[in-house]
Structure formats: structure tokens, C-alpha cells
Amino acid sequence: MNNKIQNKETDKKKSVVEAVIFDWAGTVVDFGSFAPTTIFVEAFQKEYDFTITIAEARVPMGLGKWDHIKAVGELDSVNQRWLTQFGTSMNKANIDQIYQRFIPLQKSKVIDHAQPILNALNVINDLKVQGIKIGSCTGYPREVIDILSQAAAEYGYQPDCIVATDDLAHGGRPAPFMALKNVIDLGVSNVAHCIKVDDSTPGIYESNNAGMWTVALLLSGNEAGLTYQQYKEADDKALNKARQKARLVLTKSNPHYMIDTIDDLPGILVDIEKRLIAGERP
């Protein structure tokens, strides 16, 4: 008598997709990407008694954090208020000072945003069952992502690779180097067999530049800017409005797919597998 018990996991076939590379905040953890945005607001306020809005803090999301501060300062609305308050535009010394204020604030609070969102762990574990490697990269510097990744590991999220924005000399998005460092470290044989999942336009540009399939998240990330509670309580009209808001921004970066959250990724994986088997490339 055959006593072997088969289940859906052992029946899974090895995927033609070699790796999926995830962003962190707004993608796998931190629904709505609030950890970095709220700290940007606080850093400007504490260092220069200068007020920026959450909406302004969100505009350059996905960039490395020093570049992010620089980009916020270059927004017309911010620059005009800075000129009025200080008589000159923000300069490198100002950016450095805000960044030095930002880092300890972010390190102290990022742990509060480490819990995986929605069905992220089940989706990622199912990818692993299919032999898919799990990579990750982030706009956080190494000293911040080390704290976040340790906290996320306590919830069960442990990617096979983590690349921080300051790990490489030219690592910042939208350049492809962080994504490609994942390819190297994971031992991926074909970049076209990789998928990148992100909630920001710099993150999508990064993966397009790396030659990967790109999946943009509409509702869990920076562009919709919803808290998890708002997402759960929203009716169809409110969710459609949030989708449209995010889609208007993310479409500019030409992702191959746009979905609500990581929970919708399995269906996209199936479609990409079919396209790869048919000989398509990103």
C-alpha cells in the first residue's frame, strides 16, 4: 500500500521564473508606506522648524533617502516656502543636516512598521515552494534596513537577498544596480526570468532598466497612501478612486502589470510563466 501523502505543496512544479525581487515599505511591510514619509516630515520640522506635508514627502518615494530629501527640497511648493523662510534655496549642507536628523529618527521607529502586510508571507512562501528565489532592495540605507529586516524576520519574512541603497557606489534608483546585485547574489541565470514588485515609480524604473518583468502595486503603497484600516473599511468607490490616483502616477514608469497588493501576485506569476514559455521577454 502506498502511504505517501501528497498535498498541493509537494505537487507544485518548479517555476520558470527564477527570482522575485520585492521592495520593502508599501510592498511587503508597512501598508501605505508610512514609516519613511512621517519621518521626513518630522526631520524637516526638528532640524529647521520647517513644515512639509505628507503629500510632499511622498512625491519622490523610492529614491535613496538623501536623494529623496534633495528632491523634496526641489519641489516648487517646498522651494518657494524655503526661499520665503530662509532667503535661499536648499543647499547640500541643508540636505546633509536633515539626513543626519532623519536617520536616527527612522532607526528608532522603523521597527514599528515591520509586520508583513495582508497575505504577504503566504504568497512569498508559495513562491519558495516553486523554487523561486526571493530578493529585495530598498531606498533605506543599510543601517536602517538591518533593523527593519531583523524585525520582519521575527514575523517570518526572510528574503534570500537584501540590497540597500548605499551598498553600491551607484546603487540609487532609478539606476538598475540594486536589482542587478540581487541577480548576482541570488545566482540568477537570466534577468528576463526575474520579476520586480514595487510601489514607487523609481522602483519600477529601476527594474525596467534592469530588464525584468515589473509589477506595480496600486493600493498598499505610497501613491494611494491608505492606512491598512482605511483600506479595509473603504467601499468600492473609495478603492477605485485610490486606484486611479496611484495608476496616474505609476503608469508613467511603464510597469508590465499593475495590481492592488501583493495578494494579487500569484495570478500575475502564472501569466508571466506562460509568456516566458512562449518565448517572450520583458
What is the tally of structural domains in the chain? 2
Is residue 3's pLDDT more than 70?
Answer: no
Is residue 242's pLDDT more than 80?
Answer: yes
The answer to whether 6 touches 183, Cβ cutoff 8 Å, is no
Catalytic-residue membership of 65: yes
For residue 3, is it within any domain?
A: no
Residue in this structure with the C-alpha cell 514607487, named with its chain if needed = 200
What pLDDT score does 11 carry? 58
Catalytic-residue membership of 232: no
| Residue 251 and residue 131 share a domain | yes
- Of 8, 13, 65, 166, the catalytic one is 65
- Of 23, 30, 67, 198, the catalytic one is 23
For residue 2, is it within any domain?
A: no
Q: Containing domain of residue 78, as a range? A: 36-111
CATH number for the domain including 187?
3.40.50.1000
Report pLDDT digits (tens) over 71-94: 999 999 999 999 999 999 999 999
For residue 1, is it within any domain?
A: no
Q: Dmax of the chain from CA atoms?
A: 85
User: What nine digits make up the cell of 223?
Assistant: 501613491
- Measured between alpha carbons, how far is 195 from 208 in angstroms, rounded to an integer? 10
| Residue 125 and residue 78 share a domain | no
For residue 124, is it within any domain?
A: yes
Is residue 5's pLDDT more than 90?
Answer: no
The pLDDT confidence band at residue 172, using thresholds 50, 70 and 90, is confident
For residue 12, is it within any domain?
A: no
Amino acid letter, 88: T
| Residue 264 and residue 156 share a domain | yes
- Please state, for a pLDDT cut of 90, what percent of the chain lies above it: 91
User: Cis omega before residue 174 (within 30°)?
Assistant: yes
For residue 225, is it within any domain?
A: yes
Over residues 231-250, mean pLDDT: 97
| Residue 146 and residue 133 share a domain | yes
- Measured between alpha carbons, how far is 56 from 37 in angstroms, rounded to an integer? 9
Is residue 52's pLDDT more than 80?
Answer: yes
What average pLDDT does the chain have?
94
